[in-house]
Chains A and B, each alone.
Chain A
Amino acid sequence: MNYIHAIAALMLVMLAGCGEYKQKVDYEDGGYQGKKDERAWESERFMHDPSVWKQMINERTQRQNEYVRTEPQE
């Protein structure tokens, strides 16, 4: 009888091992998890060419420079 009890106890202990889960945390590398974004120049307006877009942006940036319009008198 004791022999049967011992086997039953052993089986219970072994079964308990099936419920164990991994204790170690796997860290992600921190990459972006969201949706992919379209790039600003990906349209017919810029012919999908980043250089066309950049040129337009830089020309527009120069409009913020009032010295382009009027250099101060020396």
Chain B
Amino acid sequence: MARMKFICDVERCIECNACVTACKNEHEVPWGINRRRVITVNDGQVGEKSVSVACMHCTDAPCMAVCPVNCFYKTEDGVVLHDKDICIGCGYCSYACPFDAPQFPNSVGKAPGESATDFFVARGKMDKCTFCAGGPEENGSEAEFEKYGRNRLAEGKLPLCAEMCSTKSLLAGDAPVIVAIHEHRIEQRGYGDTRWGWEMAYGRAENEGADKT
């Protein structure tokens, strides 16, 4: 079965934020929730790098391990999803995630240091990137869209952030397929592997150069 993954090629990302906009528009994500965001390191300096970050749908997802109510599950395609009817908004997943993917509707938009509603339950139910795979509701239903956003995978499509990336920095799809695309790219340009976050999310391959899934 397919193993859906993201690759962000930092050599290509131009910090246009189209992926962020596409995600917010496609899923009608409310203000303050950023399922995807672009982070730039050494901004304004020579050699700055940008990377588009969202849930990486980790192979051994730490959010699943720490959830006290077991609201997370992994689909047969390797997409990490959660049931919002079970989530209690405790925020453990947020602390566990190395990519800061889990988002909470009531704990945003405050000045640094302010945390009036930043405590147990009051922060609201967690929201995160679904790899455009919806959630545990009927595929394509209104309930699914309201809670989790559009289910593009059930329409035979890929996540919109990757599909509309202008430089094709962000790749999404079955792991062996996107790894092959990326490795061909590396061969063409003649220098290093720039799969940001790949090893942290999916582990290191036993044989370098082999399929890193």
Contact = CB atoms under 8 A, between A and B. Distances in A.
Interface of A: 28, 30-43, 45-46, 50, 53-54, 56-58, 60-67, 72
Size range of the chain B interface in the assembly: 35 or more
Interface stretch (B106-114, B167-175, B200-208): B167-175
B25 interface: no
Interface of B: 1-2, 69-73, 75-77, 81-83, 85-86, 133-139, 151, 153-158, 162-163, 165, 168, 171-174, 177-178, 181, 184-185, 188
B70 A72 contact: no
Contacts of B157: 60
Nearest to B79: A40
Contacts of B83: 32-35
Nearest to A42: B139
B154 A34 contact: no
Among B81, B156, B185, find the residue whose CB has the most chain A CB atoms closer than 10 A: B156
A72 B157 CA distance: 28
Contacts of A30: 70
